[in-house]
Structure 1
């Protein structure tokens, strides 16, 4: 039998979640942390003068940071200094702040409409805030505020993930590779650069409006003779004759029926014995794992802010779905825990599977 009081205590943690986030983030936005990084021992009055805020308000904002040990307060002098924050390396801190900035601008306001997004299967917040009907990725191309919030995070993620991703699977010499939803061509370019061999050919498939940018990038990177672009949608039948099909960064944006369609389309596009390579975040097999925060984050992010449908699955679920669609999983790669920052939320895997028959 559960303890009702214990349940209420846990619910209390949810009540203060948004306020704790905004107090911490606002202390950075106000410049309080930067001011203390330059000079410790500043009083609330001195900090207020430095950042343009009332001393009483500064005291209020820093109370949580003192409570959490991020900042220290000398009660005898009234001076503040950085405590635990002083030991965080600047690149690590900037990575966290980039993610927090995306949460503030790209999530908090949209999540006011989470209930309606779940009911409609669309990102209602994008329409209510920006008059945009579509996905966050599409909105980032035309809405400056969305692009400013999401773009730096996407660049950080790409720089962190892509080198590991391409180390995690093999491409046969002279293979024909299809990069589904290849975007601006970066995946195709890196395939050529990191998996190159005589006769290798890589095709990026995506919306027709991305073709010109993609071809420019191929030319700029010196791979135009190996790379091509084809217009299409991953949920429609794909061109055939490929040895490797890459599905990266988007499988979790689809519900089960659509994921099965993605896998079946890839199966039809591959030659016998061809390989599918899937890059996706996954839930742990034990979803109650207290150290894994993906269930805390992704349902709200994907359903409320990105596409209004889809979500993470367990690795065992993807394995079953791939088998149902005619594949045999041959390898699964995960990042070395030593290479994952302590602040990371996302736990991705690379799943390699071979076409049967």
Structure 2
């Protein structure tokens, strides 16, 4: 036997199958490679007809050899494929990195976009877990909402990304909810007004009012005017931390409270309860995990994001019930699942 040959007893022991799983779960290389690809608009260039490494390097302003090594890894993880030697194209998975894809993921990955930028603060997750405090400011020197407000480009990418996913949810929520008898929807903190626009297009007998901060309020006015809703949709600049300037028989809070601590969330709910007309209801559109014993990874990853970005959290059904009780309200009904884990929780005053 050659000295280079191994007997069976000398062979390296087989690794347990869990080894590969843990290495995949703990891998930071692939997530960062995806972020670089998103920032370089690599898939956009490929879809535009640029397919070889040399041309891609010129198009993206990258080091040719380094880009080639990145592309090789993206092929290995099936984001790209080498359809012929030296000729690369995106796979169906890679297509999600195109800016014009219907469900593009660029906003979640590109660090020049607000959420792509915010996710890099996860490098400080250890400190967040140890201290129980958000760590976005540790990474960037400003709190999350201060950064959104101070930079119009980051602000636009944030609200555009939120609207991209929420429009589908709003369509489902409007279609499933019983609007009979509803007269006036007050959308509190409703961004650019997509929920009101969706509702008023489907229910001509209802009018809507949006209460928002000046930036998104201005964009909502333009949206309502362009949609021909100016006579039925009003925009009032204001904050949900102050007494609301308008009352209504239906109030909506969509993806607002998960951004805030329990204490702040109760404060917002109380302001809404005070603005609710007799017999009215509050529609809370949020993720609401139903089975804490079998957590959904999408829910738990979102919850960690809320912890890292600011003092918010994703909440289970029981946690929403506790918040409602603390604000003098109760959950009257919960819708079926909409999309992305969202549901409509209908709250009424506890005395109702």
Give the Å deviation of 1:169: 1.9
Equivalent pair of 2:186/2:211 in contact (CA under 8 Å): yes
**1:50-108 deviations in Å (ceiling 9; x for gaps):** 6555553244212322322333458xx85344474489586547612233224774224
Spell out the pairing of 1:143-222 with structure 2 (5 A cutoff): 143-147=151-155, 149-173=157-181, 175-197=183-205, 200-207=206-213, 215=221, 218-222=224-228
**Separation in 2 of the partners of 1:150 and 1:258?**
22
**Separation in 2 of the partners of 1:103 and 1:13?**
26
Give the TM-score taking structure 2 as reference length: 0.73
Give the Å deviation of 1:45: 5.5
Give the Å deviation of 1:321: 3.5
Q: Return the match for 2:104 from 91, 95, 106.
A: 95
Give the Å deviation of 1:213: 5.6
**1:132-176 deviations in Å (ceiling 9; x for gaps):** 45x43x533430442354243134224333222322323344623
Show the counterpart of 1:243.
249
**Separation in 1 of the partners of 2:173 and 2:228?**
22
Show the counterpart of 1:303.
307
Q: Higher helix proportion, which one?
A: 1
Spell out the pairing of 1:99-110 with structure 2 (5 A cutoff): 99-101=108-110, 102=113, 105-110=116-121
Q: Return the match for 2:330 from 308, 327, 331.
A: 327
Give the Å deviation of 1:323: 4.9
Equivalent pair of 2:109/2:115 in contact (CA under 8 Å): yes
Spell out the pairing of 1:12-161 with structure 2 (5 A cutoff): 12-13=23-24, 15-17=26-28, 19-27=29-37, 29-30=39-40, 33=43, 37=47, 48=57, 53-73=62-82, 78-82=85-89, 84-85=91-92, 88=95, 92=101, 95-101=104-110, 102=113, 105-112=116-123, 119=131, 121=133, 124-125=136-137, 129=140, 132-133=142-143, 135-136=144-145, 139-147=147-155, 149-161=157-169
Partner of 1:95: helix, strand, or coil?
coil
- Unaligned runs of 5+ residues in structure 2 are 1-15
**Separation in 1 of the partners of 2:54 and 2:194?**
50
**Separation in 2 of the partners of 1:83 and 1:201?**
45
The number of aligned residues is 330
**1:280-327 deviations in Å (ceiling 9; x for gaps):** 1234523644x6323124422x2333xx10110012322344356332
**CA distance 1:209–1:69, change in 2 (3 Å):** closer
**1:177-223 deviations in Å (ceiling 9; x for gaps):** 322124444444443332231xx443322346766665555555444
Give the Å deviation of 1:114: 5.2
Are positions 1:292 and 2:316 aligned together? no
Equivalent pair of 1:323/1:329 in contact (CA under 8 Å): no
Are positions 1:348 and 2:352 aligned together? no
**CA distance 1:196–1:320, change in 2 (3 Å):** farther
Equivalent pair of 2:211/2:237 in contact (CA under 8 Å): yes
Equivalent pair of 2:190/2:210 in contact (CA under 8 Å): yes
Equivalent pair of 2:287/2:343 in contact (CA under 8 Å): yes
**1:209-239 deviations in Å (ceiling 9; x for gaps):** 7666655555554444434444543234445
Partner of 1:235: helix, strand, or coil?
coil
Give the TM-score taking structure 1 as reference length: 0.72
